[in-house]
Structure 1
Amino acid sequence: MKHSHKTDPAYALASAGSEEKGFVLWREVLMAYVSPAVMAGIGGLITGDRSLQIAALTTIGGTSVLIAWLLGLWLRKRGRSKRWFVEPPRLLVVVMFALVCASLGFFAAWVTNRVPDMIGLSDYSIWFDRVWIDFPLSGTIASSIMTWRWRKVFEENYTLNGGDRR
């Protein structure tokens, strides 16, 4: 006797993740840190901008790690059960997450610039001028890397498990 609920495409989407191989969170987070940090560091060396070299390891790399880790946790736990995430083309999903994470980066930069003024550290706010570029850009890069790589692994595993992905 065949069970109709096991032949449903939604069942295949949810069960494909149980055998998912290739997406190791710590390795993906490491790549999300190294990629923008190295590129910003090289840019700082070429231009002679010492603050960019420091930002590459701190605000750029740190924001990338945080975004990549949080997004990676969400993708592993809930990503494969969301139809709006697994059905559209990969590029569309990557762009959508990049826009969302860039917006979150702008909000984080706004909060970061307002907190020193609220607690009376207005003299130190000059140190926070870089975050207007660093946070949104790092969020965009990290979310693009994580989403692209997760979807690639998901699609490979889905086709291996008998799914009929486009």
Structure 2
Amino acid sequence: MNKMKNAEKLGTRKFVLWREVVMAYVSPALMAGIGGLITGDRGLQLGALTTIGGTSALIALMLGLWLRTRGGSMDQSWMLRVPHLLVVVIFGLGGGMLGLVAAWAISDCLSSMISIGHMAWVQRIPIDFPLSGVIASVIITWRWRKTVKSNRQN
């Protein structure tokens, strides 16, 4: 507790992964859930809690773990030299591509194993996974970069 107070006095912030993963889950799930309520789309309401929020949290966790171990150890990292927005765009595109590949693989695997015609949520995967990947990557990268950059300036 004393260390946290001292860190706050010095103006340094810590990248706390569990908080970032919770935010990466709650933000898209809440927005999609509100959209589902407004439009009356039950599929979107269910997807908000499962394929949208869950995928976002999983990608945020994976990217956050990688950034915490690899990104922080690179003293002269390209992620710290190039503009903040460019780093976020690059990782956002990467997260979208990861979501697209995951959507393709899961949809293909599920369709080969079971009949997916009656499962409406599977039809949402090609849209939900890439969008969730972009949202999670942007949130995590933006907040990680901001934290690391401000800590290096202090």
TM over 0.5: yes
Query: 1:126: how far off?
Result: 4.3
TM-score (norm 2): 0.86
Residue 128 (structure 2) aligns with: 134
In structure 1, list runs of 5 or more residues that go unmatched: 1-19, 161-166
Runs of 4+ with >6 A deviation: none
Residue 63 (structure 1) aligns with: 55
Retained in 1: the 8 A contact 2:43–2:121?
no
In structure 2, list runs of 5 or more residues that go unmatched: 1-11
Change (3 A) 1:85 1:42: same
- Supply the distance in 2 between the matched residues of 1:120 and 1:68 (Cα, whole angstroms): 29
AA partner of residue 111 (structure 1): A
Residue 153 (structure 1) aligns with: 147
Please say if 1:51 is aligned against 2:29. no
CA radius of gyration, larger in? 1
Please say if 1:104 is aligned against 2:94. no
Query: 1:124: how far off?
Result: 4.5
Please say if 1:78 is aligned against 2:70. yes
Query: 1:81: how far off?
Result: 3.3
AA partner of residue 30 (structure 1): V
TM-score (norm 1): 0.80
Query: 1:121: how far off?
Result: 2.7
Change (3 A) 1:122 1:51: closer
Query: Matched residues, percent identical?
Result: 59
Change (3 A) 1:122 1:48: closer
